[in-house]
Structure 1
Amino acid sequence: MQILVCIDDTDNIDSRGTGELAEMIMRELENRGWGKCSWVTRHQLLLDPTIPYTSHNSSMCFTADILQEHLQSVIDYASEFLKRESVAEADPGLCVVAITDLLDKQSLIDFGFKAKREVITKEEAYNLVERTHIHLSEHGGNGQGVIGALAGAGLRLSRNDGRLKGSLKINAPDNIITVHNLCLHPAIDEVRSLDEIQVGDNEIVLLGKLVKPLFINGKAVILVEKVLADDGQFLWKTCSKNQLSAYEEKRMYVVSK
Structure 2
Amino acid sequence: MKAWLICIDDTDDIGTKGTGEIAEEIAAKLAPREPQDARPAITRFVTRHQLFVHPDIPYTSHNSAMCFQVDTDLDFAEIKAICITHLKQESAPASDPGLAILDLASDYDVERLISFGQQAKVEVKTKEQAYALAAELGIDLSEHGGTGQGVIGAVAGLGLRLSGQDGRVKGQLQLGQQADETKVIEVTVAEALALTGLQAVISIDGEKLANDQLLTLKGKIKAVFTQHQFALLVSSEQGLWRNATQQQLKPY
TM bracket (short chain): 0.7 to 0.9
**1: distance between equivalents of 2:198 and 2:50?**
21
> Root-mean-square deviation (CA), in Å?
2.0
**2: distance between equivalents of 1:102 and 1:44?**
26
The equivalent residue for 1:160 is 165
Matches within 5 A, 1:205-216: 205-216=215-226
TM-superposed deviation, 1:135? 0.7
**2: distance between equivalents of 1:239 and 1:186?**
16
The equivalent residue for 2:78 is 73
1:135 to 120, 123, 140: 140
TM-superposed deviation, 1:226? 2.3
Distance 1:218 1:98, change over 3 A: same
Q: Give the AA of the match of 2:145.
A: G
Task: Tell me whether 1:56 sits opposite 2:62 in the alignment.
Answer: yes
**1: distance between equivalents of 2:114 and 2:30?**
25
Structure 2 gap ranges (5+): 35-40, 178-182
Matches within 5 A, 1:9-158: 9-31=10-32, 38-67=44-73, 70-158=75-163
Q: What CA deviation, in whole Å up to 9, does each residue of 1:51-105 have, x standing for no partner? A: 10001000111101123x5221110111122122111110000001011114322
Task: Provide TM-score, normalisation by structure 1.
Answer: 0.86
Indicate if the aligned counterparts of 2:173 and 2:196 stay in contact, CA closer than 8 A: no
The DSSP-based 3-state class of the residue aligned with 1:64 is strand
Indicate if the aligned counterparts of 1:206 and 1:235 stay in contact, CA closer than 8 A: yes
Structure 1 gap ranges (5+): 229-233, 249-257
Task: Tell me whether 1:239 sits opposite 2:244 in the alignment.
Answer: yes
TM-superposed deviation, 1:164? 0.6
Larger helix fraction of residues = 1
**2: distance between equivalents of 1:130 and 1:235?**
49
1:178 to 180, 188, 193: 188
Task: Tell me whether 1:201 sits opposite 2:201 in the alignment.
Answer: no
Share of identical aligned residues, percent? 42
Indicate if the aligned counterparts of 2:5 and 2:158 stay in contact, CA closer than 8 A: yes
TM-superposed deviation, 1:32? 10
Indicate if the aligned counterparts of 2:8 and 2:98 stay in contact, CA closer than 8 A: yes
**2: distance between equivalents of 1:238 and 1:217?**
17
Aligned length: 239
Task: Provide TM-score, normalisation by structure 2.
Answer: 0.88
Q: Give the AA of the match of 2:64.
A: S
Indicate if the aligned counterparts of 1:95 and 1:146 stay in contact, CA closer than 8 A: yes
Distance 1:155 1:142, change over 3 A: same
